[in-house]
Amino acid sequence: MSGAIPRLIGTALAVTALGSTLACGIVGADNTEACDNIEKVVQDFTAQSVKNVDDPAALGKSYHDLANDLREEGAKGDGDLEDATKDLGAAYDKLGDTVTALADNPNPTIPDSGEVTAAGAKIKNACE
């Protein structure tokens, strides 16, 4: 399989993740630390995921790790933030499974990132 397909998918999804959560810079008092940590987790993921773009299994695992880190940080905030990070974590777990399956799929398609975008918007709202 061409390395370009996983690279394209990994890059597109990482950029979506970053864009969906960077608005955490303006935060409410209850969520300030958690939102700052979530922003850092996503930035770190984006920087690290580039190393895995040619390995769908490793990239898939990195999405699962991101999901776990997001849920962990979200639990430190209020209920809205925790719910949003659970949704985003579930979306990243699903993407992780999809990306991992790319290794064995002769006709891969770009996974839908709509769930990531919607959950990222919920995080943005919880962090404003």
Residue 60 belongs to domain spanning: 4-127
Higher pLDDT, 111 or 31: 31
Q: Residue 117 corresponds to which tokens in the numbers above? A: 């975008």
pLDDT tens, 5-58? 555 555 556 555 555 554 444 444 578 999 999 999 999 998 888 888 888 888
- Rounded to whole angstroms, the Cα distance separating 11 from 113 reads 12
pLDDT tens, 44-88? 998 888 888 888 888 889 999 999 999 999 999 998 999 999 999
At 100 the pLDDT is 87
At 27 the pLDDT is 46
Any alpha helices (H) in the chain, and if so which ranges? 4-21, 32-49, 56-74, 79-101, 114-127
Higher pLDDT, 100 or 1: 100
The 10 Å Cβ neighbour count of residue 112 is: 12
Q: How many domains does the chain have?
A: 1
At 70 the pLDDT is 95
Q: Helix or strand or coil: residue 3?
A: coil
